[in-house]
Amino acid sequence: MPVDLYYVPGSAPCRAVLLTARALNINLNLKLVDLHHGEHLKEDFIKLNPQHTVPTLVDEGFAVCESRAIITYLVNKYARGSALYPDEPKARALVDQRLYFDIGTLYARFADYFYPQVFAGAPEDKEKLAKVEDALKILDIFLEGQKYVAGPNLTVADLSLVAGVSSMEASEIDFKKYANVKKWYEVVKATAPGYQEANEKGLEAFKSLVTSLIKK
Protein backbone atom coordinates (compact mmCIF):
# COMPACT_ATOMS: atom_id res chain seq x y z
CA MET A 1 0.00 0.00 0.00
CA PRO A 2 1.22 3.54 -0.73
CA VAL A 3 2.23 5.93 2.02
CA ASP A 4 -0.12 8.89 1.73
CA LEU A 5 0.89 12.39 2.76
CA TYR A 6 -1.76 15.05 3.07
CA TYR A 7 0.14 18.28 2.68
CA VAL A 8 0.47 21.88 1.51
CA PRO A 9 3.66 22.64 -0.46
CA GLY A 10 4.44 25.92 1.29
CA SER A 11 4.13 24.55 4.80
CA ALA A 12 7.44 24.21 6.64
CA PRO A 13 6.29 21.13 8.61
CA CYS A 14 5.17 19.50 5.35
CA ARG A 15 8.53 20.27 3.78
CA ALA A 16 10.29 18.61 6.73
CA VAL A 17 8.39 15.41 5.94
CA LEU A 18 9.24 15.67 2.24
CA LEU A 19 12.92 16.13 3.09
CA THR A 20 12.89 13.08 5.34
CA ALA A 21 11.14 10.95 2.75
CA ARG A 22 13.75 11.92 0.17
CA ALA A 23 16.57 11.11 2.57
CA LEU A 24 15.02 7.67 3.15
CA ASN A 25 14.15 7.16 -0.53
CA ILE A 26 10.46 6.70 0.31
CA ASN A 27 7.97 7.47 -2.44
CA LEU A 28 5.03 9.31 -0.93
CA ASN A 29 1.59 9.48 -2.48
CA LEU A 30 1.07 13.24 -2.20
CA LYS A 31 -2.45 14.46 -1.50
CA LEU A 32 -2.81 18.22 -1.73
CA VAL A 33 -5.16 19.70 0.87
CA ASP A 34 -6.95 22.90 -0.15
CA LEU A 35 -7.01 24.80 3.14
CA HIS A 36 -8.53 27.87 1.49
CA HIS A 37 -11.66 25.91 0.61
CA GLY A 38 -11.77 24.02 3.89
CA GLU A 39 -10.81 20.54 2.75
CA HIS A 40 -9.08 20.02 6.10
CA LEU A 41 -12.43 20.52 7.84
CA LYS A 42 -14.28 17.82 5.92
CA GLU A 43 -15.52 14.79 7.84
CA ASP A 44 -13.24 12.29 6.10
CA PHE A 45 -10.13 14.31 6.91
CA ILE A 46 -11.13 14.95 10.52
CA LYS A 47 -11.52 11.19 10.95
CA LEU A 48 -7.86 10.86 10.02
CA ASN A 49 -6.73 13.84 12.06
CA PRO A 50 -9.08 15.42 14.61
CA GLN A 51 -6.71 18.40 14.77
CA HIS A 52 -7.43 18.91 11.05
CA THR A 53 -3.85 19.97 10.34
CA VAL A 54 -1.21 19.24 7.74
CA PRO A 55 0.95 17.29 7.38
CA THR A 56 -0.94 14.08 8.03
CA LEU A 57 0.59 10.74 7.07
CA VAL A 58 -1.37 7.54 6.47
CA ASP A 59 0.67 4.34 6.23
CA GLU A 60 -1.22 1.05 5.82
CA GLY A 61 -4.23 2.53 7.59
CA PHE A 62 -2.19 4.07 10.40
CA ALA A 63 -2.63 7.85 10.56
CA VAL A 64 -0.18 10.14 12.31
CA CYS A 65 0.01 13.92 12.36
CA GLU A 66 2.56 16.48 13.62
CA SER A 67 5.59 16.59 11.39
CA ARG A 68 8.17 15.72 14.02
CA ALA A 69 6.23 12.59 14.99
CA ILE A 70 5.90 11.71 11.31
CA ILE A 71 9.59 12.03 10.48
CA THR A 72 10.73 9.96 13.45
CA TYR A 73 8.08 7.35 12.63
CA LEU A 74 9.35 7.09 9.06
CA VAL A 75 12.89 6.41 10.21
CA ASN A 76 11.78 3.99 12.91
CA LYS A 77 9.74 1.96 10.44
CA TYR A 78 11.74 2.15 7.23
CA ALA A 79 15.35 2.73 8.29
CA ARG A 80 15.76 1.66 11.89
CA GLY A 81 19.28 2.41 13.07
CA SER A 82 19.84 5.11 10.48
CA ALA A 83 22.05 8.03 11.47
CA LEU A 84 19.07 10.23 10.64
CA TYR A 85 17.53 9.14 13.96
CA PRO A 86 20.13 7.10 15.83
CA ASP A 87 19.28 4.27 18.22
CA GLU A 88 22.04 5.06 20.72
CA PRO A 89 20.23 6.69 23.70
CA LYS A 90 22.41 9.78 24.14
CA ALA A 91 22.58 10.50 20.42
CA ARG A 92 18.81 10.07 20.10
CA ALA A 93 18.17 12.26 23.14
CA LEU A 94 20.14 15.05 21.51
CA VAL A 95 18.13 14.74 18.30
CA ASP A 96 14.89 14.71 20.29
CA GLN A 97 15.93 17.78 22.25
CA ARG A 98 16.61 19.68 19.04
CA LEU A 99 13.22 18.60 17.65
CA TYR A 100 11.48 19.78 20.82
CA PHE A 101 13.42 23.05 20.67
CA ASP A 102 12.19 23.44 17.10
CA ILE A 103 8.50 22.88 17.82
CA GLY A 104 8.40 24.54 21.23
CA THR A 105 10.77 27.45 20.79
CA LEU A 106 12.22 28.40 17.41
CA TYR A 107 9.42 27.56 14.98
CA ALA A 108 6.77 28.40 17.58
CA ARG A 109 8.23 31.87 18.11
CA PHE A 110 8.64 32.50 14.39
CA ALA A 111 5.04 31.48 13.74
CA ASP A 112 3.76 33.60 16.62
CA TYR A 113 5.66 36.61 15.29
CA PHE A 114 5.20 36.32 11.53
CA TYR A 115 1.97 34.50 10.76
CA PRO A 116 -0.37 37.06 12.38
CA GLN A 117 1.19 39.67 10.08
CA VAL A 118 0.69 37.52 7.00
CA PHE A 119 -2.69 35.93 7.66
CA ALA A 120 -4.40 38.51 9.89
CA GLY A 121 -2.82 41.81 8.86
CA ALA A 122 -1.44 42.35 12.37
CA PRO A 123 1.28 44.93 12.93
CA GLU A 124 4.83 43.86 13.70
CA ASP A 125 5.38 43.04 17.38
CA LYS A 126 8.92 43.96 18.43
CA GLU A 127 8.73 41.88 21.60
CA LYS A 128 7.83 38.76 19.60
CA LEU A 129 10.65 39.53 17.17
CA ALA A 130 13.09 39.71 20.09
CA LYS A 131 11.99 36.23 21.13
CA VAL A 132 12.72 34.91 17.63
CA GLU A 133 16.16 36.49 17.74
CA ASP A 134 16.78 34.91 21.15
CA ALA A 135 15.86 31.49 19.74
CA LEU A 136 18.24 32.00 16.81
CA LYS A 137 21.02 32.86 19.27
CA ILE A 138 20.35 29.56 21.06
CA LEU A 139 20.47 27.68 17.76
CA ASP A 140 23.78 29.40 17.03
CA ILE A 141 25.12 28.13 20.36
CA PHE A 142 23.92 24.58 19.62
CA LEU A 143 25.88 24.72 16.38
CA GLU A 144 29.16 25.92 17.89
CA GLY A 145 31.84 23.49 16.73
CA GLN A 146 29.22 21.27 15.09
CA LYS A 147 28.63 20.49 11.44
CA TYR A 148 25.01 19.60 12.10
CA VAL A 149 22.65 20.54 14.87
CA ALA A 150 22.94 17.24 16.78
CA GLY A 151 26.52 16.27 15.99
CA PRO A 152 28.61 15.19 13.01
CA ASN A 153 25.80 13.59 11.01
CA LEU A 154 22.69 14.88 9.26
CA THR A 155 19.60 14.00 11.31
CA VAL A 156 15.87 14.57 11.19
CA ALA A 157 16.48 17.49 13.56
CA ASP A 158 18.37 19.28 10.79
CA LEU A 159 15.60 18.53 8.30
CA SER A 160 12.91 19.86 10.60
CA LEU A 161 14.85 22.95 11.60
CA VAL A 162 15.98 23.83 8.09
CA ALA A 163 12.40 23.81 6.82
CA GLY A 164 11.41 26.36 9.45
CA VAL A 165 14.56 28.48 9.28
CA SER A 166 14.37 28.69 5.49
CA SER A 167 10.83 30.06 5.85
CA MET A 168 12.35 33.10 7.52
CA GLU A 169 13.58 34.12 4.06
CA ALA A 170 10.00 35.28 3.45
CA SER A 171 10.29 37.67 6.39
CA GLU A 172 12.62 40.48 7.41
CA ILE A 173 14.45 38.24 9.87
CA ASP A 174 18.15 37.99 9.02
CA PHE A 175 19.07 34.59 10.44
CA LYS A 176 22.27 34.58 8.40
CA LYS A 177 23.83 37.21 10.67
CA TYR A 178 24.45 34.34 13.08
CA ALA A 179 27.66 32.80 11.77
CA ASN A 180 27.07 29.22 12.89
CA VAL A 181 23.46 29.24 11.67
CA LYS A 182 24.52 30.59 8.28
CA LYS A 183 27.24 27.95 7.87
CA TRP A 184 24.89 25.15 8.95
CA TYR A 185 22.16 26.37 6.61
CA GLU A 186 24.46 26.19 3.62
CA VAL A 187 25.76 22.76 4.65
CA VAL A 188 22.25 21.31 4.97
CA LYS A 189 21.19 22.83 1.64
CA ALA A 190 24.18 21.14 0.01
CA THR A 191 23.95 17.75 1.72
CA ALA A 192 20.28 16.98 2.43
CA PRO A 193 19.14 14.57 -0.31
CA GLY A 194 16.72 16.14 -2.76
CA TYR A 195 16.80 19.51 -1.01
CA GLN A 196 15.82 21.48 -4.10
CA GLU A 197 12.77 19.38 -4.85
CA ALA A 198 11.71 18.73 -1.28
CA ASN A 199 12.21 22.17 0.26
CA GLU A 200 13.12 24.91 -2.21
CA LYS A 201 10.03 24.50 -4.39
CA GLY A 202 7.71 24.68 -1.42
CA LEU A 203 9.65 27.60 0.01
CA GLU A 204 9.13 29.54 -3.20
CA ALA A 205 5.40 28.79 -2.96
CA PHE A 206 5.40 30.10 0.62
CA LYS A 207 7.22 33.27 -0.41
CA SER A 208 4.71 33.87 -3.20
CA LEU A 209 1.82 33.40 -0.79
CA VAL A 210 3.34 35.85 1.69
CA THR A 211 3.89 38.43 -1.03
CA SER A 212 0.33 38.12 -2.31
CA LEU A 213 -1.22 38.38 1.16
CA ILE A 214 0.90 41.29 2.36
CA LYS A 215 0.06 43.28 -0.77
CA LYS A 216 -3.68 43.08 -0.01
Does the CA dihedral 179-114-167-77 come out positive or negative? positive
Mean pLDDT of 94-105: 98
Q: For residue 9, what pLDDT is reported?
A: 96
> For residue 47, what pLDDT band results from cuts at 50, 70 and 90?
very high
| pLDDT digits 0-9 by tens, 55-77 | 999 999 999 999 999 999 999 99
Q: What is the pTM of this model?
A: 0.96
Active site residues: 11
In the predicted model, is pLDDT for residue 216 greater than 70? no
Residue 122 pLDDT > 90: yes
What average pLDDT does this structure show over 109-136? 97
Domains of the chain listed by start with CATH number = 3-78 (3.40.30.10), 89-214 (1.20.1050.10)
